[in-house]
Structure 1
Amino acid sequence: MSSLIHPTAIVDAAARIDPTVTVGPYAVIGPHVTIGARTAVGAHCVIEGRTTIGEDNRIFQFASLGAVPQDKKYAGEPTELVIGDRNVIREFCTFNLGVPGAGGITRVGSDNWIMAYTHIAHDCRVDNHTTLANNTTLAGHVHLADWVTIGGLTGIHQFVSVGAHAMVGFASAVSQDVPPFMLVDGNPLAVRGLNIVGLRRRGFSAERLAAIKQMHRLLYRQGLTLEATRSAIAELHSEEAADDIALMLSFIDQSTRGLAR
């Protein structure tokens, strides 16, 4: 056994663990687990199921990754949890396997900062560079796009999507889709404006910000129907913001829960 694996840890002989992985005291790692180079697994963690973890992750003590989904229909099918690279996963986080019929894979991307007691349920997709504060709770099939920030004690309903660069404030109840770039909070949820601080920190130009502000006005300040809003957004012209406009149009077209208003 590698000297980087504490002698009290229980690591199944069939697990595929890179020799540079560190495993802390009393951790338990199951037979179908794969862990990439330089990932650190803290004390008392349990990693089970068909779980694949990439490189350079830091998993703090008492996390539970790859447990069976909290779905009464699940009957032991070979579903998966896939986690990317360079994530920080703090204490007592729980990430579940997927369920059949819905893709069967729960996915967490790379470079995410996931704070204590976060729950990521079956078939969720968390993309890259997100920040999930303490006690963030994702029900099944939730999608968080790149650079999303979720405030602490927030619950997100099944099948909800939160668009790229959006921010959800503290202790919010999110039951509808949150468009890209927006700042929302509350229970019931309300759109408060743009995530302007986050956009500026990520280097959005004045032209891009102007186009995003115009999309916000069309969505929330003009009293238009959603169909009319989409048409007006499609008519916006900005060379620098072309991708931002396309992102918003795609989000509107793919929304299934209705947009947060």
Structure 2
Amino acid sequence: MQIIAVANGKGGVGKTTTAANLGVNFAKRGYYTMLLDTDPLACLEDWWDERKANDLQLMSIALSQLDEAIPKLREAGVEYLIIDTPGFISNAVTGLLCQADLVLIISKASPLDLRATQKSLKFIEEVKTPLVFVLNEVRKGTRIANEAIMALSQHGRVAPIIHYKNDFVVSMIDGRTLEETADADNPGIAEVDALADYVLRQAGEKTLKVIDRSPVKQATAEVIAISGRRGNKT
């Protein structure tokens, strides 16, 4: 099981949207994917509660329950565990990052967000987990976007960027993602595909599974039983 933590010490940078889009993308490729919401605000859980499709599971737990949940998920055969982390850095969050195989640091290309990302790096780099920067809501053709890529690349790899599109926000309203709501030629879909391809390769996948965007009918099996919110669509 590969554990991918989506992190930043600042809220509002797009961690939940990124986790949801990657989770759906992975599931549509046929990977057994679980979303784990550890943010007290539980925004990812709220999104999942609105979701009609039964293609991936979600668990919402406290960070203190992580040590109990991970072995059970691994034993159940989960291939990718995508963890949405809180918008702050603490000892518990640092402990979570230590257990991850890959940390995606999400940031917007704005001065405030980049400064917050720099502060988060002081803690995240200490855990020695491989990290990748994901620039989110990037405005095309802006000078600061290029400067952000150059600045972040000094600290690690920068994944394919996600440009600003209101479609990303709108698609999350009813438990779906951009690829499920937008027209097939929407450039945002290709951007999510490129990001997912990159993350999967960073996680060790050599041959990527083909995406199946037909409606999902089969439900994922129930996999764990710990004291926390979990479930699957039936």
User: Shared fold by TM > 0.5?
Assistant: no
Q: Which has the higher Rg, Structure 1 or Structure 2?
A: 1
Q: Which has the higher contact order (CA 8 A, sep 6+)?
A: 2
TM-score normalised according to structure 1 size: 0.20
Select the structure that is richer in strand: 1
TM-score normalised according to structure 2 size: 0.22
Select the structure that is richer in helix: 2
